[in-house]
Structure 1
Amino acid sequence: MKLAFLLSVLITAAIALPSNPNNGRASISKVDGTKFNIDGVTKYYAGTNSYWIPFLTNDGDVDTIMSHLQTSGHKILRIWGFNDVKSNPGSGTVYFQLFSSSGATINTGANGLQRLDAVVKAAEKYGIRLIINFVNNWTDFGGMAAYFSACGVNSNEQWYAATRCQTIYQNYIKAVVARYRTSTAIFAWELANEPRCKGCQTSVLTSWIRKTSDYIKSLDTDHMITVGDEGFGLAGDGSYPYQFSEGIDWAANLALPNISFGTFHLYPSGWGVSNSWGNSWITSHAKICKQLNKPCLFEEYGVTTEAQHCSVESEWQKTSLGAKEEGMAGDLFWQLGDTVKSSGQKTHNDGHTIYYGSSDWKCLVDEHVKRIG
C-alpha cells in the first residue's frame, strides 16, 4: 500500500511540473502573429549576418564570437549552410558539397558539415538562433552555378525547374535538416540567398518556393521556413526594386502556406535609389506582412561608406522598430565583423562590416538593442 501511495504521489507531482522551456518543442522559435516568439518571449528581435562563421576551422573562435553576440543582446544570426565546389580543395579547406558531371557528394567530414555542427553547438550554448540558408543565387561559395554540370543546365533560370537539379538540391536539404531537426538553435530554414529569375514569369519562382517549402515542411514540421529574397516585386513607386523583372512577386510568395515569414534586403547604392528611400521600402513590406498576418524580417541592409554606417543604418533600424505593430518583427544588419582569436586577424570587411566593439557597433547594436528593450 505504501509503495502504491508513493508511486501515485510521484506521478501526480510529475504531471504538475511545468514543461522545461529549454527542452524540446517548447524552445522552438515560432511565429506569433506578426512577431517572433523565442523561448516564450514574443517581441521584436535584433541580429546580424555571418556568411563566414561556418568556414572557421577552430571551435574556440566560433565559441568566442557566439559569446560576443549573446552579451550584446543579439538573438538571431543568419549563416551560409552551403559551400559548394567543383573540385576537391583538400583537407585544410572547408567545403560542404562536391559536384561533378555525375552528381554531388556531401562532405560530412572534419572540413565539411562538422564545421556547421560546431556553429550549431555554439549557438545552442549561447542561446543564439540560426537562419540556415541552403544555396546561393550568386557564384560565391559555389551557388546554383556549381550544380550546372551535374544536372545539365546552364543558367539559374533553368535550375529552378530542372528535375535533376532540384533532386540534388533537395538531397542536400534533407542531409542538413536531418542533422539539426531537433535543435533549438535553428530559427528557420532558408531556401536561397537572394533568389532571382531575371525576365521569368513570377510563377517560376512561386512554384519553386511552394515545392521547396512543402518539401522542407515534410522533413521538419517544427521549425520556420523562409525564402531569403531581397523583397522585389510589390506595389510602390515604380523604381527598380519594386518591379517584377527579377521574377519575384513578394506578396504571392509570402502567402504560400509553408512560408512562415517574409524577408527583404536593402542596398540603395546597388539599386540606384537614395538612402532615405529605404524607409518607405521598409514600411511597404510591413504593410503586406500586416495584411497577411505574417512577420517581416529586415534580413540584410547596409551602406558601403563607413562614415554613413551609423547615421544611415540607425535610421532604417528606427523605422523598422517603429513599425513593430505594423508587420515588422526584426532586423539583421549585413554584416558581422569580429577578430578571430586564434589568428588575431579581423574577419572579412566588404565595406558593410560592423566590427564588434567599434563605435559603429555601439550605434547599431548597443543603442539599437537598448531601444528595443
Structure 2
Amino acid sequence: MLTSFWLAATALITLPAYAAATPTPTVPKRDASPFVSLQNGDFSLNGGKFSFVGTNAYWLPYLNSDDDIANTLANMSASGITVVRTWAFNDVTTIPTAGSWLQLIQNGATTINNGANGLQRLDTIVQLAAQHNIYVLFSLTNNWNPVAIPATPARRDTASPLPRNYLSNDYGGMDAYVRAFGTTQNHDEFYTNPTIRSFFEKYVQAIVSRFASNPHVLAWELANDPRCNSTLPQTGTCTTNTITQWTADLSAFVRSIDPNHLVSSGDHGFLCPDCTKLFALPAKPATSPVPGSSRRSLGGALTKARLLKRIAEERRAAKRSAKADPNAIQIRGRWAASSQAKRQVSGVGPAFDGSFGVDSQDILSVPDIGFGSFQLLPDQNSYATDPSSVIGPPSNNFGETLQQGVSWIQAQAASAQAVGKPLVLTEFGLVTQENIPFFVPFNATEPAAPAGVTRKRQSDAAGTIGTGVTDEQRDQAYTAWLEAGLAAGIQGMVQYQWSSQGLVPAVGTFIQGIINGQAQSSGGGIDQSPNDGYGTLGQGQAEEQGILQTASQNITTVEVLLRR
C-alpha cells in the first residue's frame, strides 16, 4: 500500500533529474525568514520551500497536564508531523468549576481569561511545539456550536454523557456571539452585525497580538468551516459575497495587527464558478511553474463549462461502475445547506452551487489571504458535481468515495493554482466501523446511533448513518488522497484527528475517563483524548501514523531534490 505512494513521489522526482542534463535555471533567492511566508506562490521558511503533513488536535492546549501536551507533541513528531491545527478559542457562558476557558460571554459583555487556565494554555502549546519543531495553526472561531433544544445554559443535549470540550463543536464559536449579541438570532449575523464583529475583533486582537512575534505559529485561520448555515437559522440574504466580504475585512484587520504571519479563511473549499465575484483573478494566472517548483499546470480555474463537463464524466463513470449501489442512501440531503439557502447555480451538487455561501476561489483572491484551505470529510459532505448521482455513506460506495476525494483534491489544487497561492487540506478523514458509535457530526451534540438506527440531529433533521469503512479501506483512501495531494503540489495535508491515551484525568474536564462514550469519574480506567468519530486509538493507529510518516518523508524528499 505504501509502495504506491513512493512510486508517485519518485514519478515527480524524475522530472528535476531529467532537467539536470540541461542548463540549470536561475532560482530567485528566498527570503530567509523564520516565519512561514510566501515566495513565488509557495510556502517559504528559513530560505527554503516548506511543505508539510500535519494533524488536528483541537483539544491539545486544554489538557490537564503540560507533560501530556509535551508527550503528545513528541509522538506527533515521531510520525513526521510538523504542523498541528488546534482551537485558539474556548468560549463559555458561565465560568466552569474545572478545566480551561479563554473567554466568558455573559450579560452583554465579554471577559478574556489571561490566567493559567486561560490564554496561558496557548502559550504552553506554542512553547512545547517549538521544542519538537512543530508549527501551530490556530483557528480563531468555529462555525459550529450547537446547544440543547430548546436553548438552555447547557452546552449540549441534557442526555449527553460527554463532558464540556469533549467535542470539537463545544468550544463556543460564531453562534455563541449571535446568541449573546444578535438581534435577529440568525447565524449569518456573525458576518454582518457591527456589534458582533466588534466583540469578535476584540478577542482576535488579544490572541493575534499575543503571538505576532512568535515564528512557531504557522498562520492564523479566521474560522473553522465558515458558512451561511449552522445550528441557528440563516437569513435569505446570505450569499457567497457575504462571507467573502467578511473574510476580506477580518483578514485585513489581522494583518494590521500581525504582518509576520499568513492568514487563511479556514473554509471548506466549496466552489461556485457561476457566483458573482468580489475579487478578480490575476490577469496572468500562474499556469506554468516557476523554476524550482514541484507544481505543474492543472488546467486553471473551474469554470461553468468545465463543471458541466465534469458532471457528464461523472455520470458516465457511475454507469460503468459495477460497484455502484443504487439503493445507497444519499448523504447530501443530510448535509446540504438549509432550505433558506439560495442556490446560485442550478443542476450541480451543493459543493459547487454556492448554497453554503462559500466561493473558495473568490475567498482565495482576497489580498490579505495568504493561502487556501479546504476539507475532505465524506461522512458529512457530498463532493459530487452531479446532484443526481447516488452517493451513499462511504461504507456503501467506498470506491466512488475514494475517487470523489481525489477529484475534489484536484479541483481545489487547480483553483488555487489559478490564483497563484499555496493550498492546505486542513482536515481529511473517514469514520471507521469501530468509530461509528462515537461519530458526532459537526452540527450535532450526541454520538450517532448504531448502524441502521435513525437518530435526531440538532439541525432538526434525521438521517441513517452507514456502517463505517474498514481500517484497511481508510488506509487505502488516505494513501490515495495524500498521493493525489503530493502530485497536485498541495503544500500542506492535515489528517483528522490525532489520538492520545494515558492522559491525566480531572473531574469536570474532558479527560475524566471515557468508556463506550460514557463519562467516568476520575481514574475511570480509560484516559483518552476526545474522539468525535475520527480517532485512531485501537483502530489501526500504527498503520495510519505510518502512512502519515511515509507521506512526510516523500514530501521532504521531493522538496530536497527540487532544490538541487
Q: TM-score, normalised by structure 1?
A: 0.88
- Greater helix share, structure number: 1
Q: Rate the CA distance shift 1:41–1:299 in 2: closer, same or farther, 3 A.
A: same
Q: Is the 8 A contact 1:137 1:144 kept in 2?
A: yes
Q: Is the 8 A contact 1:321 1:330 kept in 2?
A: no
Q: Is the 8 A contact 1:335 1:352 kept in 2?
A: yes
Map Cα deviations across residues 90-149 of structure 1 (whole Å, 9 max, x no partner).
Answer: 2x2211111113211111111111111110111122211111111110002111121124
2:222 maps to 1:216: no
Flag the structure with larger Rg. 2
How many equivalent pairs are there? 347
Q: Distance between the aligned counterparts of 1:277 and 1:188, measured in 2?
A: 29
- Greater strand share, structure number: 1
Structure 1 residue 259: Cα displacement: 0.2
AA aligned to 2:260 is D
Q: Distance between the aligned counterparts of 1:71 and 1:35, measured in 2?
A: 26
Equivalent of 1:108 in 114, 117, 141: 114
User: Residue in 2 aligned with 1:19?
Assistant: none
AA aligned to 1:310 is D
Structure 1 residue 340: Cα displacement: 4.1
AA aligned to 2:70 is D
Q: Is the 8 A contact 2:79 2:545 kept in 1?
A: no
SS class of match (1:366): helix
User: Residue in 1 aligned with 2:377?
Assistant: 267
Map Cα deviations across residues 276-333 of structure 1 (whole Å, 9 max, x no partner).
Answer: 2011111111111111110011111111025222111111110001111xxx111001
User: Residue in 1 aligned with 2:483?
Assistant: 318
AA aligned to 1:262 is G
2:338 maps to 1:332: no
Structure 1 residue 355: Cα displacement: 4.8
Q: Is the 8 A contact 1:44 1:321 kept in 2?
A: no
What RMSD over aligned residues (CA atoms) do the two structures have, in Å? 2.1
User: Residue in 2 aligned with 1:175?
Assistant: 206
AA aligned to 2:425 is F
2:367 maps to 1:367: no
User: Residue in 1 aligned with 2:133?
Assistant: 127
Equivalent of 1:29 in 32, 36, 54: 36
Equivalent of 1:304 in 431, 435, 445: 431
Q: Distance between the aligned counterparts of 1:149 and 1:143, measured in 2?
A: 10
User: Residue in 2 aligned with 1:227?
Assistant: 265
Structure 1 residue 37: Cα displacement: 1.9
Q: Distance between the aligned counterparts of 1:33 and 1:108, measured in 2?
A: 39
2:414 maps to 1:283: no
Q: Distance between the aligned counterparts of 1:347 and 1:131, measured in 2?
A: 19
AA aligned to 2:421 is K
Structure 1 residue 341: Cα displacement: 4.4
SS class of match (2:366): coil
User: Residue in 1 aligned with 2:437?
Assistant: none
Q: Distance between the aligned counterparts of 2:207 and 2:191, measured in 1?
A: 20
Q: Which structure 1 segments of 5+ residues have no match? A: 1-24
AA aligned to 1:219 is I
Q: Is the 8 A contact 1:57 1:115 kept in 2?
A: no
Q: Distance between the aligned counterparts of 1:169 and 1:61, measured in 2?
A: 30
SS class of match (1:271): coil
Q: Distance between the aligned counterparts of 2:202 and 2:68, measured in 1?
A: 30
Structure 1 residue 43: Cα displacement: 4.1
AA aligned to 1:74 is I
Structure 1 residue 155: Cα displacement: 2.2
User: Residue in 1 aligned with 2:244?
Assistant: 206
2:155 maps to 1:148: no
Q: Is the 8 A contact 1:355 1:361 kept in 2?
A: no
SS class of match (2:424): strand
2:98 maps to 1:83: no
Q: Which structure 2 segments of 5+ residues have no match? A: 1-31, 146-168, 230-235, 273-301, 312-347, 383-390, 392-400, 433-469, 506-525, 558-564
Structure 1 residue 275: Cα displacement: 3.0
Percent of aligned pairs with the same amino acid: 31
Q: Rate the CA distance shift 1:127–1:65 in 2: closer, same or farther, 3 A.
A: same
Structure 1 residue 351: Cα displacement: 2.6
AA aligned to 2:108 is S
SS class of match (2:268): coil
Q: Rate the CA distance shift 1:335–1:39 in 2: closer, same or farther, 3 A.
A: farther
Q: Is the 8 A contact 1:104 1:150 kept in 2?
A: no
User: Residue in 1 aligned with 2:337?
Assistant: none
SS class of match (2:492): strand
Q: Is the 8 A contact 1:30 1:223 kept in 2?
A: yes
Q: Rate the CA distance shift 1:348–1:370 in 2: closer, same or farther, 3 A.
A: same
Q: TM-score, normalised by structure 2?
A: 0.59
Map Cα deviations across residues 240-298 of structure 1 (whole Å, 9 max, x no partner).
Answer: 21220011111111001000000000111222442320111111111111111100111
